[in-house]
Structure 1
Amino acid sequence: YVGELDTTQNTQTETLNYKFLHDRVQQAAYSLIPDDRKQITHLQIGQLLLLDASPSTKEEKLFDIVNHLNIGRYLMIQPSERTELAQLNLNAGGKAKNSTAYAAARGYFKTGIELLQPDCWKTEYELALNLHVAATEASYLNGDFEGMEHLAALVLQQAQTIFDKVKIYEIQIAAQTSQSQILEAIAVGREALSQLGVDLPDATDEAQIGKALQDLKEQLQGREIAGLIDLPVISDPTAIAAMSLLGMLFSPVLLGTPSLMPFLSATMVRLSLQFGNTPASTGGYAIHGMVLCAFLGEVQTGYEFGRLSLLLVERLNVQSMKCFTHALFGGFIQHSQEALRAALLVQKESYTAGMETGDFLQAGYGIQGCAYTSLFAGVDLDRLSAELPAYSAALAQVKQDSSRIYLDMVQQTVQNLRESVNQPHLLIGQFYDETVMLPKHQQDNDLTGIALAYSYKLLLAYYFGNYQAALDHIAQNKSYLMAVSGMTHVPTFHFYAALTYLALLPSQAEPEQAEILDRVASHETILHRWAQNAPMNYQHKVDLVEAEKYRVLGKNYEAGDCYDRAISGAKANEYINEEALANELAAKFYLNWSKEKVAASYMQEAYYCYSHWGAKAKTDDLETRYPELLRSILQQSDPSMTMFGTLATIASPAYSLHSSTRNSSSSSSINTTLDFAAILKASQALSRSIQLEDLLHQLTQIILQNSGCDRCALILPNENQVWEVRAIATPIAT
C-alpha cells in the first residue's frame, strides 16, 4: 500500500494506491484469473485508467491504457469505442516510433487499422488515412518492404488528394533507393511531381536544366546567401509538398542520373525564394551547395549554401533534417574548404541523427561517407577494420542494402591493404565480391556504385605497382565519374590517374609520350583547382604529381625538391598514407639515380609510414621488392647480442637518416630501435660523461626526445644478472 494524505478546508481525504511487492506476486495473481475472464478484466482496467487519467497522466500512461484495452478490444461492440481505441493506437504508435521502437509502433498501427469500420475511408477518412500512412512508414522502418508496398497501394487508391499521397510517395522513394531500385525511385518521384505541377525533365534535356540554373542566378543577383535564413516560413501546401518530394529524390538522382542534380537543386532554391523556407529548404540549400561545388566550380558560394543549410536546421529546430544536411555537407562540400578529417565528425553526427529519427537511408550514406573519408584521410586501418563491421551490421538490420554495399567496398579495400593477396586490386574477399556486385550495379543502373568500386580498384592497383590494371580502371571509371561529383573520390581519381600515366610513360614510344603528358596535364589541372580551394587536402598531391613529372623529364633536382614538399605537406596535414607513398616514390627515384643510401633512407621512412597506417600488405610488398634498402630494419633481433653489439648493428651506415620514430604492431619485423641521429647523441653523451647519474639522465632524455613518449624507464641487469629499473625519466626530469 502506498497512500497520500491530503488535508484541505477541514476535510481529510486519502488517495489509495496499491502495488505488488514483486513481479512474481503479480504473475501469480494474474494466473488465478480464469482465462475466460482475462479479456474483460483487461478491458475494465483499461477503461478505469482512461476514465481517471488527466490529460497529462493520460500521455504518461498511454502504453498501459492502450495495452489493456487492446487485449479486451474484441469485447468492444460500440463503433465509437472502437474508433476511440483506434485513435489511441495511432497515438501510441507515434510515441513508440519517436522512441525508435519501430516493431512496437507497427503493432499499434496494425491494431488501430483492425479497429476501423469497414467503410472507414468514407466515415473516418482522416483517421483511416493517418493510420495507414503511419503503418506504411513503420513497415518500411522494420524492413518489411512487401507489407509496405501493399499498404502504399491501398492508400494511393483511397487517398482523395495529392497532398494525402505525398508521404506515401516519399516512403516508396526511400524504400526503392535503399534496395538499389534507382530508376524505379526516380519514376515514382517524377509521377508525383507532375501532379504538383513540377516537370522533372529527362536527363538529356540540357536546355531545360540550363534555363533553371539561369533563372535562379537572376533571382539570387545581389542577395546575401546568409540572409536567406531570414526568409518567411512557407505556407503554400503545393510548394511544401513539391519541396519534400524533390528532397527525397536527391539520392536516387545522384546515384542514377546525376546530370539532373543542377535542375533539382535550382528548383528547390527557387521555390524557397518564391514561397519561403520550409524544413525541406535545409536540404535544398545543401543540395545546391553540392551542385555549385561539384558541377559549377563555384566552391566558395557552394560552401556558403552548405553552411546556410546547417544553420537553418538549428533555426527551424528540425532534427528530422539533421541527418540529410550533415551527410551532404560532410560528404560533398566540407572537404572543398576544410581539412578532410573535419568531415568525420559531421558524417558521424549524420549517422547518429538518422538512426535516432528513422532516416535510415541518409544515415547509411552518412556512415559510408565516414568510412571512405577515413580511408582517404589516412586513418589507422586497424582501427577502421575494427569499427566498420558494426556499422555494416546495423545497416543490414534496417535493410539499407545500397549504403551497406558501399560501406562493404571500403571494408574490402581496407582488408586488401592489411592482408596480402595475389591480386590486391581485385575487390574479392570477405566483404565484397566484384564478380557478383559489378554486374548487379550495372543491372540496377547504380552508377555511383560502379564509380566507387573502380575508384578503390585504381587506388589498390597503383599502390601495389600494377600500373596496367590501374590504366584499365581509369578507362572504366571515366564514364561513371559524374556519379560521385563533389565527393573526394574525384580529386583522388585524378591524383592516381596522373601518377599512373607518369609511371607508364618511360616504357612508351616517344610519339606516345607527348600524348601521355597531355593527359597528365589535364588531370593535374583539375587537381590544382581542388588544391587552390583546399590546399590542406590536395596541395601535397599536386606536389607529388609534379615530382613524378620532373622525374620522367629528367629534371632530377626539381624532382627531389617536389618529393620533399609532398612528404612535408602530407605529414603536416596527417595524410600518413600519402606521406608513405611520397617517400616510396622518392626512394624509387633516388634508386634509379644510383643513390642507394639516399634511396634506403626514403624507403625505410615509407616502410614506417605504411606500418603506422596499418597497411601490412604494403609493408610485405616493400619487403619483397626492396629487401636491400630495408635490410637494417628487417634484421631479426638476436637475444644473444650484447647491448654494445646491438648499438653497433643499429648504427650501420645503411640505416635511415630520417627521423623514424614510428612503430607498429602490424609488422613483426620492425626492431624497436632508435634512429641513427639518436645513436650519435648517445655516443656523444658517453664520451662526455663519467658520472653514472649524469649519464643515465642524458641517455633517458635522448630516448624521450627520439621516441615521442611521455615517460621512459631504463632497465639494466645488475652484477648478479638481475634486471633492475635504473632510471625513470619524463621530459622535465630523470
Structure 2
Amino acid sequence: RLLLTAVTQINHGGPQAVIDDEQAVVVANLNLDAGKKAMNMSDFFAAHSFFDHGISYLRLRREHWNEHYDLSLELFNLAAKCALLNAEHESVQALIDQIMHNAKCFEDKSQAISNTITLLTWSGNVLGAIELVKSTLSSLGEGLPTKITSSVIKQNLDNTKAQLASLSDDTLLSYPAMVNPSKILALELFTTHFQILPLVHQTAVMPLIPLKIIQISLAYGMSPRAPIGFAQYGNFLALVRDEFEEGYRYVKFALSLMKKIPSRAYAGSVMFHANYTKVHVEPMQSVIECYLDAYLASMKSGNPYAIGCSYVYNTFCFWSGKELKAVVSSMKETLMESKYQKNLLVRALMLPTFRMALRLMGQSGAPQQDHDINTSDEARNEDDITGKHVLHLRAVFFVRLSQALIFRELDEARDAAKEYFSIGEVGCKFAVTTIPSFFMKLYSGLVSFWIGREINDKKKESMKWLARGVACKDEIEKLAASASKWNFQNKVYLLQAEEQFCRMNFEEAEKLYDAAILTSKAHKFLNEEALANELAGHFYLETGRRDRSVHYFSQAFEKYNEWGAAAKANMLTKYLDGR
C-alpha cells in the first residue's frame, strides 16, 4: 500500500511536475506497478486511474510508441481491461484504437481484439463478435471447418479419445506450460467462441471447440484456459453422448488441472463450465452454490464474464425452488450490475424470470423503480435483443408457458407453448446459456399434457400435445437413470402422473402423484413439491373427488407460501373453502 500511496501523491503533481522525459518514463513505470498492485487487490477503479496517469506521462513524448513500445503496449492494454470492467466503454474503444494502430505484430493486438469481442457481445452484436473471432482464428491458422457434419465431429472425437487414452491424469497434470503466444490467443478465442455461439443458434460447431482446445494443449502445453476445454469435453461426453461416468471424470480433472496451473485468472470460467455436469450428477442444491464461487473467483481476477456466473446462479436458484425473497434480492443485484456494465444481453436474459418471480410473490404491481425494471430505452434494447437472438426468444416463451401453468391460464399456456415448440431445439445440450434444458423439459412436458387433456375433443391435436409431453418425459427419465435420481426422479414421477391422468389410468396416476410429492420433499425441491401437490389436487377435482382434492390443495397452499409465492398460494383458497 505504500507504493499506491506514494504514486498517488506523485500523480497529484501531474505530468507538468516532471523535469524531463527520463523522469516521465520512471513515473509511468511506477504507475504501471501501482496499477498491477491495485488489480491484484481487485480494485479496478484505482488500477485504471494509475494506468491512465501512466499514459499521461508517456504522452509527453509524441514518439512514445516508438521509443517505449513495451511500456506503452502494457499500459494501454491494462487500462483497456480495467475500463471494460468499469463499464467505461468509450474509453475502452479509444484505447483499443490506439493499440490496433500502433501494435507491431498480430500477437500484440490480441488483448485489444479480445476486448473488442467482449464489447460487441455485451452490446448485443453477437454476430459481429462471432465474425471477429472466426477471422482472427483463421489468421492464426486455427480456423474451424465451414461445414460441420457428424462424421467430422466423430473423427475429431475419436482422435482426441485415442490421444487421451494413453495418458493418465498424473501425466496430464505434469504437462509443461504453453508458451506459444499464437496458440495461447487461439485458446482464448475458442473459449470465447464457445460462450457466445448458442446465443445465435450457431451450435453445430460447438462440439469441435473443446476437442481443438485439448488437441492444441497436448501439442503445445497447458495454458490457464486448457482446463476450460477439459470441462467442456466432460460436459459433451456426459450430456450429449450419455457417458456420464467418463464425462464426470474429465470435469473433475479440469478442476484439478485448474489448481495445478499457477495462474488463477480463469478459475471462475473453469468452475462455471465444470459445474454443469456436476449439477446433473451431484445433489443440485449444493452444486448451485458453486456458481456463486465461480462468480466470486471471476470478480477477483477481473474476468469480464463474471456476470454470466451470477445470471446462471440466479436462474438455478429460482427454478430449483430456493426461497423467493432471497432469489429476487440476488436477481436485483445482477440486474443492477448488468445495467452498470451495459451488458444488455445478460439483462435481457434475466428479466423474464425476474418478472415471474415478482408475480409469484405478488409484487408485479409494485412501483417500477423498486424492481429496477427497464426504462423505455432499455425496454427497446430488450425487445431488440429478443428479436435478434432465438435462444432468448425461446426462453421468453418458456417462462410464459411455465407461468401460465402455475397460474392455470390455459389459453396463455397454449399460445406460449405453440411458439416455444415452433422454435424447436436451440442452444447446446452441454452448455448452460439460458434456462437449463431439464427445467424446460419438465415444464413444457407438464403444459403439453395439460393442453392435450383439455382439448381431447380434437383428437388429432390432442395426440400431438400428448406426444410432446411423452417426449419431454422420456428425456427426464434418461437423466434419472444415467445421471442422478436425486435431481430427476421426482420430475419423472410428476410427468408420469400427468401422462397416466391423460390416459385415464387413474389408479396408477394416484400412486405417481404421491411418489412425486414424497420425492420432491425428500430431495428438497420445494417449488416442485408445491406444484406436485397442486396438480394432484386438480387431478382429484377433475375426476369428481373434491373431498380428496382438498388435502392436496391445502398442502400446495402451505408449500407455495413456504417458497414465498404468496400470490400463487392465495389463488388456491377457492379450492379450500368449505373445508
TM-score scaled by length of structure 2: 0.90
Report 1:637-716 matches (<5 A). Answer: 654=579
Match of 1:630 in 2: 576
> Match of 2:577, as an amino acid?
R
| Alpha-carbon distance, 1:565 to partner | 0.6
| Alpha-carbon distance, 1:203 to partner | 7.3
> Match of 2:16, as an amino acid?
Y
| Alpha-carbon distance, 1:463 to partner | 1.0
Q: Is the 8 A contact 1:481 1:490 kept in 2?
A: no
Q: Does 1:504 align with 2:454?
A: no
How many residues align structurally? Answer: 562
> Match of 1:568, as an amino acid?
L
1:25-82 superposed Cα distances (whole Å, 9 cap, x missing partner): xxxxxxxxxxxxxxxxxxxxxxxxxxxxxxxxxx843541463266153243432222
Equivalent-residue separation in structure 1 for 2:170 and 2:398 (angstroms): 35
| Alpha-carbon distance, 1:471 to partner | 3.2
Match of residue 320, structure 1, among 249, 265, 268: 265
| Alpha-carbon distance, 1:571 to partner | 0.5
Report 1:27-66 matches (<5 A). Answer: 60-65=2-7
Q: Is the 8 A contact 2:345 2:385 kept in 1?
A: no
> Match of 2:471, as an amino acid?
S
Q: Does 1:493 align with 2:440?
A: yes
Equivalent-residue separation in structure 2 for 1:454 and 1:333 (angstroms): 26
| Alpha-carbon distance, 1:87 to partner | 1.4
Q: Structure 1 120/437 Cα, relative in aligned 2: closer, same or farther at 3 Å?
A: closer
Q: Structure 1 194/510 Cα, relative in aligned 2: closer, same or farther at 3 Å?
A: closer
Match of 2:468 in 1: 519
1:253-308 superposed Cα distances (whole Å, 9 cap, x missing partner): 23232332212111111111222211110221222233334433333332222222
Partner of 2:207: helix, strand, or coil? helix
Q: Is the 8 A contact 1:303 1:334 kept in 2?
A: yes
Q: Does 1:115 align with 2:54?
A: no
Equivalent-residue separation in structure 1 for 2:233 and 2:415 (angstroms): 33
Match of 2:282 in 1: 338
| Alpha-carbon distance, 1:365 to partner | 0.9
Q: Is the 8 A contact 1:409 1:432 kept in 2?
A: no
Q: Does 1:234 align with 2:234?
A: no
| Alpha-carbon distance, 1:130 to partner | 1.1
Q: Is the 8 A contact 2:402 2:447 kept in 1?
A: no
Partner of 1:242: helix, strand, or coil? helix
Q: Does 1:483 align with 2:427?
A: yes
Match of 2:223 in 1: 278
Moved more, 384-393 or 612-621: 384-393
Moved more, 536-545 or 313-322: 313-322
> Match of 1:103, as an amino acid?
F
Equivalent-residue separation in structure 2 for 1:221 and 1:571 (angstroms): 42
Match of 2:274 in 1: 329
| Alpha-carbon distance, 1:432 to partner | 5.9
Q: Does 1:162 align with 2:106?
A: yes
Q: Structure 1 411/72 Cα, relative in aligned 2: closer, same or farther at 3 Å?
A: closer
Matched-pair identity in %: 23
Report 1:431-442 matches (<5 A). Answer: 431=373, 436=380, 439-442=383-386
Equivalent-residue separation in structure 1 for 2:354 and 2:264 (angstroms): 30
Q: Is the 8 A contact 1:255 1:448 kept in 2?
A: yes
Match of 1:89 in 2: 31
| Alpha-carbon distance, 1:435 to partner | 7.4
Q: Is the 8 A contact 2:314 2:330 kept in 1?
A: no
| Alpha-carbon distance, 1:558 to partner | 0.7
| Alpha-carbon distance, 1:520 to partner | 2.5
Q: Does 1:530 align with 2:479?
A: yes
| Alpha-carbon distance, 1:583 to partner | 1.0
Partner of 1:258: helix, strand, or coil? coil
Match of residue 84, structure 2, among 111, 128, 140: 140
> Match of 2:109, as an amino acid?
K
1:668-693 superposed Cα distances (whole Å, 9 cap, x missing partner): xxxxxxxxxxxxxxxxxxxxxxxxxx
> Match of 1:401, as an amino acid?
L
Match of 1:302 in 2: 247
Structure number with greater CO (CA < 8 Å, separation at least 6) is 2
Report 1:180-195 matches (<5 A). Answer: 180-195=124-139
Match of 1:728 in 2: none
> Match of 2:217, as an amino acid?
S
1:116-172 superposed Cα distances (whole Å, 9 cap, x missing partner): 221222222111111121222122122121221122122122212222111111222
The structure where helix makes up a greater share of residues is 2
Equivalent-residue separation in structure 2 for 1:183 and 1:147 (angstroms): 23
Q: Is the 8 A contact 1:121 1:158 kept in 2?
A: yes
Match of 2:368 in 1: none
Q: Is the 8 A contact 2:325 2:564 kept in 1?
A: yes
Match of residue 606, structure 1, among 545, 548, 556: 556
TM-score scaled by length of structure 1: 0.72
Match of 1:398 in 2: 341
Equivalent-residue separation in structure 1 for 2:196 and 2:372 (angstroms): 28
Moved more, 64-73 or 169-178: 64-73
Equivalent-residue separation in structure 1 for 2:238 and 2:373 (angstroms): 32
> Gapped runs of 5+ residues in structure 2?
366-370
Q: Structure 1 619/227 Cα, relative in aligned 2: closer, same or farther at 3 Å?
A: farther
Equivalent-residue separation in structure 1 for 2:418 and 2:171 (angstroms): 44
Report 1:200-219 matches (<5 A). Answer: 200-202=144-146, 208-219=152-163
Match of residue 40, structure 2, among 77, 91, 98: 98
> Match of 1:169, as an amino acid?
I
Q: Does 1:419 align with 2:368?
A: no
Equivalent-residue separation in structure 2 for 1:110 and 1:69 (angstroms): 10
Match of 1:258 in 2: 203
Equivalent-residue separation in structure 2 for 1:607 and 1:66 (angstroms): 60
| Alpha-carbon distance, 1:521 to partner | 2.4
Q: CA RMSD in A?
A: 2.6
Q: Is the 8 A contact 1:348 1:370 kept in 2?
A: yes
> Gapped runs of 5+ residues in structure 1?
1-58, 423-428, 633-653, 655-734
Equivalent-residue separation in structure 2 for 1:442 and 1:390 (angstroms): 22
> Match of 1:162, as an amino acid?
F
Match of residue 589, structure 1, among 508, 524, 539: 539
Q: Structure 1 465/405 Cα, relative in aligned 2: closer, same or farther at 3 Å?
A: same
Equivalent-residue separation in structure 2 for 1:586 and 1:226 (angstroms): 52
| Alpha-carbon distance, 1:205 to partner | 6.3
